[in-house]
Amino acid sequence: MSHDLIRMALEEDIGTGDVTSQYFVLDDRLARAFVTVRKEGVISGMAMAAAVFLEVDPSLVVQVLVADGSKVAPGTMLMKVEGKARSILTAERTALNFLQRLSGVATLTSRYVSLVKHTNAKILDTRKTTPGYRALEKKAVLDGGGVNHRMGLYDRAMVKDNHLVAERGITALQEAIRNLNEEKPQVEVELEADRLEQVEAFLKLEGVDYILLDNMNLTDLREAVAMRDERHRVSFEASGGVNLDTVADIAETGVDFISVGALTHSAPALDIGLDFVVLV
């Protein structure tokens, strides 16, 4: 899938050919280039960036200098590329697009993680990902120290308010959970609650793995967590109203997870560039 994405990205950028390199760079010109980070951050996407260069020209020599998940300072050299100057220039923007985007996700995730490290709460991603990039962006979340939520609609049942409205009440809900547990025991079950009364009711159900506490204030989050005792194996996830200013307070309520859509839908790209040196 990643190679398909690389080929698609190169095709939309190169089209019928890189006319700048073809007409303004000699075909036999060799060069060395360094991919360098301009701003402090956490790196993700090194394999994708390297694969872009090699997809454009398998004869290029690509050396990865920094591993995904590394925290880097401005000026850190991430990758060295040697070979035809034309090839390096043609691949440059697509390689940097992957690396900047994914490192941006990892960097933002690390900021959230650092703000809750004094608690037991884990930072989760969501399904609010760039189409086609989900696996890459979720790996970037891991590189930043976060935790992956479900990959898609297939690996966790997440029953939200619209699903509950369509159902016939708590008895029907328990029956549906039981059927899922029997037929697909590997699939976890999560129920969304926006009121404490719902939390109380959901804790009485069997087969529930997570309760999503949606847009609750801090007082309600604490009360919800306090409802759980040794009889309940359920984990609590907080969602809604989460940002860098609020995440620490939310974590201190005792929730197990905090989901943050901004990790993938609003992460700014990390400033990374390519420093080019002509050899011969």
Q: Catalytic residue among 93, 111, 127, 222, which?
A: 93
Catalytic (active site) residue 192: yes
Q: Catalytic residue among 190, 214, 237, 256, which?
A: 214
Catalytic (active site) residue 128: yes
Q: Catalytic residue among 29, 32, 128, 222, which?
A: 128
Q: Catalytic residue among 29, 32, 160, 222, which?
A: 160
Which amino acid does the sequence have at 243?
N
Catalytic (active site) residue 195: no
Catalytic (active site) residue 125: no
Write a three-state SS string for the chain: CHHHHHHHHHHHHHCCCCHHHHHHCCCCCEEEEEEEECCCEECCCHHHHHHHHHHHCCCCEEEECCCCCCEECCCCEEEEEEEEHHHHHHHHHHHHHHHHHHHHHHHHHHHHHHHCCCCCCEEECCCCCCCCCHHHHHHHHHHCCCECCCCCCCCEEEECHHHHHHCCCHHHHHHHHHHHHHHCCCCEEEEEECCHHHHHHHCCCCCCCEEEEECCCHHHHHHHHHCCCCCCCCEEEEECCCCCCCHHHHHCCCCCEEECCHHHHCCCCCCEEEEEEECC
Q: What is the Cα–Cα distance from 108 to 42, expressed in whole angstroms? A: 8
Catalytic (active site) residue 18: no
In which residue are the tokens 């309520």 written? 253
Q: Catalytic residue among 137, 192, 237, 256, which?
A: 192
Q: What is the Cα–Cα distance from 57 to 88, expressed in whole angstroms? A: 8
Give the catalytic positions in this structure. 93, 128, 160, 192, 214
